[in-house]
Structure 1
Amino acid sequence: MGFSTNSYNTDWIDLEIGIVVSFSISPILFVIAMKFLLKAAEGSAGPAILGGDCYMLPLKAFMNGATIICSNEGETRRILEHLDVLNAWWRMKLKPKKSRSLSIRKGKIDATTTFTVANQQIPMISQEPVKNLER
């Protein structure tokens, strides 16, 4: 990472794992990095078709959490693979055990579709319900 102004450029700084809480710009940099990562992965899938003329972008995020909404299984797998590659490149880790998946086909929950990321299966919401949504 480096900073530039009209009159000054910093040297490149190697980033390590984690967010420095006492450094006020650190959370802002994290959110910017997440936005870049999600925008890069968003191109792996088209907008989800919700019916009629309603569409939704495939990725929704808040701080360090993200939701993938796709119209089909193939697009979901592509976006997960792309996120996995991007996270490895950015030296970040996805945590499949903290994630949940839900697949709906023809208006009913499909318990046969499983997704993996980082060579680990994402638990289905019916197997391991969400306990809390944090703050």
Structure 2
Amino acid sequence: MIWEAIQRAKSEKLNLDVAWLDLTNTYGLVPHEMIQLALRMYHVPEVIQVMLDDYFGGLCMRFSTNDYTTNWINLEVGIAMGCTISPILFLMAMEVILKAAEGSAGPANLGGGCSMPPLKALMDDTTVICSKEDETRWMLTRLDVLMSWCRMEFKPKKSRSLSIKKGKVDKATTFTVVEQQIPTVSQEPVKSLGRWYDSSMKNIRRGAETLELASESLLAINKCLQFMLIPKLLWPLLVYDICSTTVEAIEAKIYQQI
């Protein structure tokens, strides 16, 4: 959807700002109070709230050296990796933050009566999409404040921004988060949800990369055939008296799979 929005802004000669934001230590910084707030906000039954409160209240850690071991310390932040409920709790906590921020900007205008919400998120991948530069800056400021309140923060160096003015990339416009400038996709491309974004706003480079990937993969397959399959088949062909018809059938099978 983000790619389609960029292409529409390009073809309709519209203004559009996009910021891809990366969270620092995603699971490790989620406050347990934030989880309880999310549970109450989404009307999770009280018995479940109490159970999860007891669960997180029992998370402790301590440090040991050769000469000293600390007392057990109760953890107030962090979601256990590998726990089946952790992704759900993280999504709920993030949704509280996004709901608090989404009113900071109106829907992005994509022309032809089409619009898009100013915030898109999947797990810890958060994307800001706005039609007005001042709304983009206000949205980033609002998210920054909310993350600070939650004792979480974005990582500017791994975040990226793209500004389009009248359908063309504006390399001069930059944005900040955590009081640091976000690199633009003109400086460093970004990969979000499996797709690369750069200042060209085209797929030509990706096509060339896919062609190169196909060539490299075929070479790898050829090496498997040359150094693994053929030696494995060669020994029985040398040891046993196998008729030419069977050998031709084996060759046909190999060519069919290739």
Aligned to 1:117: 177
Query: Which range moves more in the overlay, 1-10 or 72-81?
Result: 1-10
Q: CA shift at 1:39, angstroms?
A: 1.3
Q: Structure 1 residue aligned with 2:76, among 11, 15, 21?
A: 15
Equivalent position SS for 1:42 = helix
Q: What TM-score does the superposition give when structure 1 sets the normalisation length?
A: 0.87
* Distance in 1 separating the partners of 2:48 and 2:161: 47
Q: What TM-score does the superposition give when structure 2 sets the normalisation length?
A: 0.47
Aligned to 1:70: 130
Distance 1:33 1:56, change over 3 A: same
Q: CA shift at 1:111, angstroms?
A: 0.7
Equivalent position SS for 2:110 = strand
Q: CA shift at 1:134, angstroms?
A: 7.0
Aligned-CA RMSD value: 2.2
* Distance in 2 separating the partners of 1:8 and 1:65: 28
The runs of 5 or more residues in structure 2 that have no matched partner are 1-32, 58-74, 195-258
* Distance in 2 separating the partners of 1:51 and 1:110: 19
Higher relative contact order (CA 8 A, sep 6+): 2
Higher helix share: 2
Aligned to 1:91: 151
Distance 1:8 1:57, change over 3 A: closer
The runs of 5 or more residues in structure 1 that have no matched partner are none
| Greater Rg by CA | 2
Q: CA shift at 1:5, angstroms?
A: 3.9
Aligned to 2:162: 102
* Distance in 2 separating the partners of 1:103 and 1:35: 26
* Distance in 2 separating the partners of 1:7 and 1:83: 32
Aligned to 1:25: 85
Equivalent position SS for 2:152 = coil
* Distance in 2 separating the partners of 1:9 and 1:35: 17
